[in-house]
Structures are given as C-alpha cells and as structure tokens.
C-alpha cells in the first residue's frame, strides 16, 4: 500500500500539493512502497480540498507558513512520522497560499495540526511537537 504524503513546499520528502494555474488546484504526489514501484512518484489530482481529505480515512493536516521557525521544525517531524505511521495521510497547507482553507478551519496560531477522520476534523493541536509526541497524539485520536 502506498504511503501518501502531501505538501505545498518543496522541502517535505519531495511530495507536495501545489496550485497550478488553469488546472486543478490540488495535486498529490505519492511515493510507492511496493517493491516493483519502489521510490517512484505517482501524481493524483484533486479539484478541491474536501476531495483531498476523502482520499484516505485519516488525514493529518499541518497548517504552516514559510517564515515560521517552529513550522520548519514540524516539516522534519512530519516527514519522519510519515514513514512510521502508515495509515495516515500527511498534508501540509501553506496558510499564505491558501488563506481560505486556514480561515475555514479557524487557524489562528502556527503551526496548527488538524486530524481528520472521514473528512471531519476530530482533533487539533497548536505548536510544534517532537516526533514521539506527534505519533502519540495521532495514535491517541485514531484509536477513538
């Protein structure tokens, strides 16, 4: 099963969500784990953020800004956790590029992590976490 990773920056495991002018605004780059496809990137296009959230049952969204120091630390933590926590899709949303999404989910501090189950926000945390804290937080809310 492929491990899905999303990002709107170029620093998160070479996977990103980017806005294409004149095309669908959301592109998902995935890196496969299957031995035949090991390391190959596959692209999926989404027409809306909601469609992106429906891709997997559990999605963790990191709302960040490029100028935010703690947000840059979370990029490394998210990358590390995405290799360990297989059943969660990791998404990064740049709040300056997508302010309407940040407003919709009432992001007032950076970084803000929002955990979605079946497209519905079930948990959120503001501020940077270590990799072990993030894994524990995810597992606490996924098991509910």
Give catalytic residues, as residue numbers: 68, 71
Q: What is the 3-state secondary structure (H, E, C) of 9-21?
A: CCCCCCCCCCCCC
Q: Is the dihedral of CA 76, 133, 7, 58 positive or negative?
A: positive
Q: How far apart are CA 104 and CA 66, in angstroms?
A: 20
Report the candidate in 120, 1, 110, 123 with the shortest Cα–Cα distance to residue 50: 120
Q: Where are the alpha helices (DSSP H) in the chain?
A: 49-53, 69-84, 99-104, 131-142
Strand order in the sheet with 3-4: 3-4, 26-31, 41-46
């Amino acid at each position: 099963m492929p491990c899905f990773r999303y990002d709107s920056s170029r620093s998160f495991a070479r996977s990103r969500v980017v806005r294409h002018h004149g095309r669908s605004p959301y592109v998902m780059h995935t890196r496969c784990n299957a031995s035949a496809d090991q390391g190959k990137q596959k692209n999926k296009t989404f027409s809306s953020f909601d469609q992106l959230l429906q891709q997997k049952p559990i999605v963790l969204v990191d709302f960040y800004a490029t100028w935010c120091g703690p947000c840059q630390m979370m990029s490394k933590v998210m990358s590390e956790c995405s290799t360990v926590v297989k059943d969660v899709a990791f998404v990064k949303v740049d709040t300056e590029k997508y302010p309407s999404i940040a407003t919709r989910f009432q992001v007032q501090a950076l970084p803000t992590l929002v955990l979605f189950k079946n497209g519905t926000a079930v948990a959120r945390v503001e501020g940077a976490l270590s990799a072990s804290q993030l894994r524990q937080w995810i597992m606490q809310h996924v098991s509910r």
